[in-house]
Structure formats: structure tokens, C-alpha cells
Homo-oligomer: A and B are copies of this chain.
Amino acid sequence: MSSADTVPVGGADVGRRVTIRDIADATGVAPSTVSRALSLPDRVNHVTQQRIQQAARELGYVANSQARALTSGRTRAVAVLVSDITNPFYFDVIRGTQHQLSAAGWTQLLVDTEESADAELAALSAIATKADGAVLTASRLSDAQIARFAERTPLVVVNRRPAGVPSVLIDTPGGVEQAVQHLVSLGHRDVLYVAGPDSSWSNERRWRALVRVAKRLGVRVARVGPHAPFVDSGAAAADAAVNAGATACIAFNDLIAIGMLSRLRERGVRVPEDMSVVGCDDIFGADFCNPPLTTMTSPIERAGRVAIRMLLGRLGAAPSSSGDDLPDGQTAGAVALPTHLTVRESTGPAPSSPHRPS
């Protein structure tokens, strides 16, 4: 029964990882003392504490996070759910979450729900033991569903506002107002909204903001769509816009706007001479497409960072630096992040007479 019996023929105990028990044996204390010395250093005599940490270092000890999670219930990991990992918008979000998490020494589980509410539900329940909380970006669940999950798993949502669940909002309605004012100042009196997917909360929000602002400024609005949020959808969107005789468009997002730009060029519609195009988000590429896209610059990465900070705050893991991202350590309610219009070459004065279908 001696442990030597179970040692591989090679002799050296190569395969096994170092455990707190090994450290205990090496230092002559009990495993529980090692555990304390490593996780709650103040609860242990300073000298033995040093001795233990020393031994841990020498033996190359690395805590088994599974075991730790099993007893403590905390994983030090958070799940970030995105609806389509293909969408550059999420790259910026992920950047932000990843950055803030790694700064705190936490792990990020990235989950692509592929636009499916079922996949999202499944992920959310699987997560319960894998992560201490989750960030939902562009959830396809109902507010009620989100709220119900939030009772069991700490959640922060981005661009959604279910009652009682902390959320990070990107203030695109504010951006829409700036965009319309910009177009008005260029002489436009008609604005076409190129809608995104019906399932998108932001889409409705932007449209309503547009209607509101337009009324106030005496601008006529129309709407085409829905269009899927891909560059490729931009072609159909551009055709629809031309067909509607539009001279100024605000697109649901930059992907669609960039796709429109290409299609309009193909069709010989000049931007901005014949048609102004405004995008939304200012994703990677918006500044170097042709022509460079006027768009509502969203602090996307910051939204990711703020979401993690709120989440870690709720989890009692105060993020390292308090920075200035999150006003007074807010961890509940909704945080709205301002958007601003970045004017580039895709907008210009309204043509004297609207462009006619070719």
C-alpha cells in the first residue's frame, strides 16, 4: 500500500501535479494550513506563511481551479455571450471584457449563441457552474427570461434594459439626434432609416429616436428593411434606398452602411453627392472604407469594460483600478455611455433634386 507501489516504473513521479498535500508534507504542516496560507494569508502565522509560500514556489504549485470552485462555489470566471461572433461589433466588446477581466486575474468564457434563444438558454444554465456571472450582449431572450436568470446568476446586460438587471446602454438615440441635426444642417429634409433585424432591441430604439427627432426638426422619415447586420446585406439595402428616392440614409449599423457604399458605387450613385450615408457604431473599417463613413461612434470597448466592472463589483471582486469608466462604482441600474457623431466623407449637402432610380 505504500505510495511507491503506484509510482510509474520510471521511478520519478512525473505525471502528478503538485497539490497542497505535497506542500504540507514538505513543510510539516497540515493541508488546511497550506490552504489558508495561500488563500487567507493573514489568518496564518507570518513565519509559517512565508515558509509555505516558499515551498509552493519551489514545488511549482498551481492551484486546481476546479477543486477550488467545487468547495468555494466561486470560479473566478465570467461568461460573455455574443449573438454572432462574426460581427465586428462584438470584437470590440470582447476586447473590453477580456481586458478588464485579465486585469483582475479572471478568466473569460466566450460563448457564441448564434442568434438562437435556445442556445442562449442552454449556455446560461450550463454556465451556472462554469462561471460566477455572465455578460449578455444583444440577448435574444425576453426581458422576463433575462430577469429570471438574473435571480440565480449575476448578470449584466449590454444594450437591453430588463427591470432589475444592471445594464450598460450605448446611447445611440443620442447619436441619432446628432446625425439628423448634421443632415439637416447640410440641407436634407428627408431621411431614410435602413433598419436592422427586427429581433434587435437597439434597432427599434434607434428608429423611435429617429421618429422623435425628425418630428421635432420637421424632417420626413421613411424606413426600409429589415436587413441582416452583414456587409453583404448592404447591397439590397442600397437598392431599396435608391428605389425609395432617398438622398440621406441612416443605417442600423456600419456593416450595412459599408455594404451600401460598395453597392452604390457599383450603381454609379455618388456618395455623398447623390446620397449621404450615416452608419452606426464606428467599427473597425469605418474610417478606411470608401468613402470613409460618417457614423455614430460608440464606446463599444468601453461598454465591455464597464459591464465587467459592474459584474465584478456585484461579485464582490473589486476591479484593480477604479479608473473613471464607472461613475462612483455603480453596480446596479443602467449606465448610459454617450455616443458622438464622427463626420467623414460619406455625408454631404443635399442634392438640389433627389436622385432618381436608374
User: Which residue in B17, B85, B285 is a CB contact (below 8 Å) of A288?
Assistant: B285
Of all chain B residues, the one with the shortest Cβ separation from A293 is B288
Q: A70-B67, A70-B70 are in contact. Are A88 and B91 (CB under 8 A)?
A: yes
Shortest CB-to-CB span from A341 to chain B, Å, is: 21
Shortest CB-to-CB span from A19 to chain B, Å, is: 11
Chain B residues lying within 8 Å of A114, measured Cβ to Cβ, are: 102
User: Which residue in B66, B67, B85, B258 is a CB contact (below 8 Å) of A75?
Assistant: B66
Chain B residues lying within 8 Å of A167, measured Cβ to Cβ, are: none
Chain B residues lying within 8 Å of A231, measured Cβ to Cβ, are: 288
Chain B residues lying within 8 Å of A63, measured Cβ to Cβ, are: 129
Return the CB mask of A117-129 against B: 1 if under 8 Å, else 0.
0000000011011
Of all chain B residues, the one with the shortest Cβ separation from A91 is B91
User: What is the number of residues of chain A that contact chain B, defined by CB distance less than 8 Å?
Assistant: 43
B85 close to A98 (CB less than 8 A) = yes
> What is the CA–CA distance of A129 and B126 in the complex, to the nearest angstrom?
19
Q: A107-B109, A109-B109, A288-B261 are in contact. Are A129 and B94 (CB under 8 A)?
A: no
Name 17 extra pairs, CB < 8 A, besides A60-B125, A63-B129, A107-B109. A17-B129, A62-B128, A62-B129, A66-B67, A66-B129, A85-B95, A85-B98, A85-B99, A88-B284, A98-B112, A107-B111, A258-B288, A261-B288, A284-B284, A284-B285, A285-B289, A290-B291
- Could you write out 13 A-B pairs with CB less than 8 Å apart? A62-B126, A62-B129, A66-B67, A66-B75, A85-B95, A86-B95, A102-B111, A107-B130, A109-B110, A261-B288, A284-B284, A285-B289, A290-B290
A residues apposed to B, CB below 8 Å: 17, 60, 62-67, 69-70, 75, 77, 85-86, 88, 91, 94-95, 98-99, 102, 107-112, 114, 125-126, 128-130, 231, 258, 261-262, 284-285, 288-291
